[in-house]
Amino acid sequence: MTAEGHLLFSVASLVLAHQLEITPEIAQGDWLHMLPGVLLASLLPDIDHPSSTLGRLFRFISIPIARLCGHRGFTHSLLALLVGVTLFQTEIPSNWPIPTDFVHAMVIGYISHLIADMLTPAGIPLLWPLRIRFCIPILRGKERKKAERFIAVLVVVIAIILPQHINFSFARYFDSLQFNKIQFDKLPIDKLQNLYK
């Protein structure tokens, strides 16, 4: 997929994720944080190609990755996504001024890139280092660019017309999971400590 296609598809995916309230941060996030995050991450997996948009800017990163893993290798796998998410959660010092909605939008952007590449005949090695490639090759032929734009618009239209009553709220789901934790937090800890003295 072209860089333009990835950028369009990532914004469309963010609008959809926002409507679906994938996380509270995405649902209530600041678009001035989320848009740069999603756009940046939508180009990030192609850092494994020295002539891609980011690859040209950061050749000192793209050339070694291309030599080690090849294009559409590690950076196009679930493992890369997992490493990214884990790094974001563990390596960022708490005093860094990186907003959480920016980070969550980056994850959306990265996933949107993987899905978009999966729509091309070459597919992606989701289970890298296993070589099995996953693809639903609907973007092919000369009309590919038009199809990329059409899909991006389609995703935005789906997001906009998505009726609120079928809007499955991940946020509310996670809130219900945390119900017991909140109750536990409210327990009179002082009294409990006295009990065990």
Minimum distance of Zn ion from residue 99's CB (angstroms):
26
Helices (H) and strands (E) in the chain, counts: 11, 0
Q: At a CB cut-off of 8 Å and minimum separation 6, what does 168 contact?
A: 20
Neighbours of 162 (CB within 10 A): 15
When asked if residue 46 is in the footprint of Zn ion (CB under 5 A), the reply is yes
Q: Which of residues 126-185 bind Zn ion (CB under 5 A)?
A: none
The stretch near Zn ion (CB under 5 A) out of 90-98, 103-111, 115-123, 187-195 is: 115-123
117 contacts Zn ion (rule: CB under 5 A):
yes
Minimum CB distance to Zn ion smaller for 24 or for 50: 50
Comparing CB distances to Zn ion, the nearer of 36 and 123 is: 123
∠ Cα 156 34 101 (to 5°): 120
48 binds Zn ion (CB under 5 A): no
Count of residues of this chain found to bind Zn ion when the rule CB under 5 A is applied: 3
Contacts of residue 140, Cβ cutoff 8 Å, sequence gap at least 6: 120, 121
Closest CB 78 distance from Zn ion, rounded Å: 14
Binding window for Zn ion (CB under 5 A); candidates: 13-21, 43-51, 56-64, 99-107? 43-51
Question: For 168, which DSSP code?
Answer: -
Which structure tokens are listed for 29? 């996030």
